[in-house]
Amino acid sequence: MKAKSIFLLAFVCIVAVSCEQMGHKAVSLKEAYDGSFKMGCAINPFMVNGRNPEATELLLTHFNAISPDNAMKPESLHPGPEVWNFGPADSYCEFGREHGMFVLGHTLCWHNQTPEFFWTRPDGTPKSREELVETLRSYIETVVTHFAGKVDAWDVVNEIVAEDGGFRDLGWVKAFGGDGYEVARLAFQFANEYAPENTELYYNEFNVWRPSKLEGVINLVRRLRADGLRVDGVGIQAHWGLNYPKTEYIESAIEQLAALGVKVMITELDVDVLPISKEGQVIGRSLQDPQFQLEEFEEFLDPYKDGLPEEVETQLADRYEQLFRIFYDHRDQIDRVTFWGLHDGASWKNGSPISGRTNYPLLFKRDLTPHKALAKVLAIPEPKTAE
Ligand code: GLA
């Protein structure tokens, strides 16, 4: 027997023995949660175009669902009145299809990352109501038709509900003169009209765990359905932290949404380990003021530049274990859990709500090796018994 074959045989035996000792524990997220929910990840063009093959391999090992981090937002697809840019989004969809993944389109109607010309005329004056309706209609028609059969689902409306359960007076809502429900209704109406029947249509939101906001989201879904519109699911974004939100709030959101009869998804999961970014995105913007750029503030606000201390690494692992225990216990109600990014280096949490920090919010580190959290997350599902 050649030396190479002996080596290979020895390797296979070691793997087999270790699997036996581990009680056939799954080595990948999608395997561990197979039969529970899809495992998703938001990806950027580098993972699709082969420029970072190690990241692509890691992605394909662990995930069976993808979300586009920025490629399908209005500013990416339609950056100028006469400009359409479908290339990167098409590559994203082809990648997902080629690898048999669930492919999400994200997002059609949002106040953010949407160019001003959607709401104003070339001379800068505000568009009339009719013009706005037509802009929204034709945008949704063009995009949804282009990606028909390429995406499995759309986040139709993103983040339109306010913390108090009303509507946020931003973007489309502001342009429409404050009628948030009308904007959501029109967006779902056009998505219902132009999307193939087997393309699912979702509402996606952050801080859904907060009772007042949850109520607003539930009311919105009920109203849309009462108006005869198909709403297939609600995404709970899950930009969370080491200590918030409380388990009871998360469980209540999952349960109340599931009771509506919609699919419930955890869509943008990350765990912020840095100070002063309570609730993921609220506090901290003013800390970018020059007065806070002093050394003493920097040390306080960006404490783990040179690496994550063991004690925080453990807190992160415990937090992820706690969250996946909740998700696994609610697996009958959850359709998908998606991380917002593959590894710490690709996370928006390094730039928000304070720019230029070093955060550690995901299961994989910058060098693509796993945090301790991965093993904890993999260990939660009960091993499947042989048929
Ligand atoms: C929101 C959006 C996402 C992304 C994240 C942060 O939650 O839905 O597309 O922009 O913020 O990056």
Per DSSP, 370 falls in state B
Omega prior to 142 cis, within 30 of 0: no
Instruction: Round the average pLDDT of the chain to a whole number and report it.
Output: 91
pLDDT for the residue numbered 13: 40
pLDDT for the residue numbered 293: 67
Nearest CA to ligand 1 atom 9: 69
Pocket lining for ligand 1, CB < 6 angstroms: 158, 206, 237, 268, 348
DSSP string, 23-80: TS--SSHHHHTTTT-EEEEEE-HHHHTTSSHHHHHHHHHH-SEEEESSTTSHHHH--B
pLDDT-wise least confident of 46-60, 195-209, 323-337: 46-60
Question: Contact at 8 Å (CB) between 160 and 173?
Answer: yes
Confirm whether 159 is a catalytic residue: yes
Question: Contact at 8 Å (CB) between 326 and 250?
Answer: yes
Look at residues 115, 90, 126 and name the one whose alpha carbon lies nearest to residue 105. Answer: 90
Buried b (16+ CB within 10 A) or exposed e, 136-148: bbebbeebbebbe
Options 200, 268, 279, 313, the catalytic residue: 268
pLDDT for the residue numbered 193: 98
pLDDT for the residue numbered 40: 98
DSSP string, 136-179: HHHHHHHHHHHTTTT-SEEEEEES-B-TTSSB--SHHHHHTTS-
At 26, list the tokens: 């799954």
Question: Contact at 8 Å (CB) between 382 and 359?
Answer: no
What is the C-alpha to C-alpha distance for residues 113 and 117, in angstroms, rounded to an integer? 12
Q: What is the pLDDT of residues 108-132, one digit of tens each?
A: 999 999 999 999 999 999 999 999 9
Q: What is the pLDDT of residues 218-227, one digit of tens each?
A: 999 999 999 9
pLDDT for the residue numbered 9: 42
pLDDT for the residue numbered 45: 87
Per DSSP, 221 falls in state H
Q: How far is the CA of 6 from the centre of ligand 1 (A)?
A: 50
Q: How far is the CA of 75 from the centre of ligand 1 (A)?
A: 13
Above pLDDT 90, what percent of the chain?
Answer: 80
pLDDT-wise least confident of 1-10, 44-53, 66-75, 306-315: 1-10
pLDDT for the residue numbered 386: 56
User: Which residue out of 268, 269, 271, 339 has the highest number of ligand 1 atoms within 8 Å of its CB and is therefore the one to mutate?
Assistant: 268
For residue 58, count other CB atoms closer than 10 A to its CB: 20
Q: What is the pLDDT of residues 308-343, one digit of tens each?
A: 999 999 999 999 999 999 999 999 999 999 999 999
What is the C-alpha to C-alpha distance for residues 32 and 251, in angstroms, rounded to an integer? 21
Beta bridge partners of residue 364, listed in sequence order: 343, 370
Exposed/middle/buried for residue 365 (C-beta within 10 Å: 0-12, 13-18, 19+): middle
**Is residue 23 scored above 80 in pLDDT?**
no
Nearest CA to ligand 1 atom 3: 69
pTM attached to this predicted model: 0.91
pLDDT for the residue numbered 15: 40
Please give the biggest Cα pair distance in the chain.
Answer: 80
pLDDT for the residue numbered 24: 52
Beta bridge partners of residue 336, listed in sequence order: 38, 265
Q: Categorize the per-residue pLDDT at 178 as very low, low, confident or very high, splitting at 50, 70 and 90.
A: confident
Look at residues 301, 314, 315, 373 and name the one whose alpha carbon lies nearest to residue 343. Answer: 373
Q: How far is the CA of 110 from the centre of ligand 1 (A)?
A: 10
What is the C-alpha to C-alpha distance for residues 202 and 264, in angstroms, rounded to an integer? 9
At 27, list the tokens: 């080595």
Q: How far is the CA of 81 from the centre of ligand 1 (A)?
A: 24
Residue appearing with tokens 């479908």? 86
User: Which ligand 1 atom sits nearest the alpha carbon of residue 67?
Assistant: 9
Confirm whether 311 is a catalytic residue: no
Position 182, amino acid = E
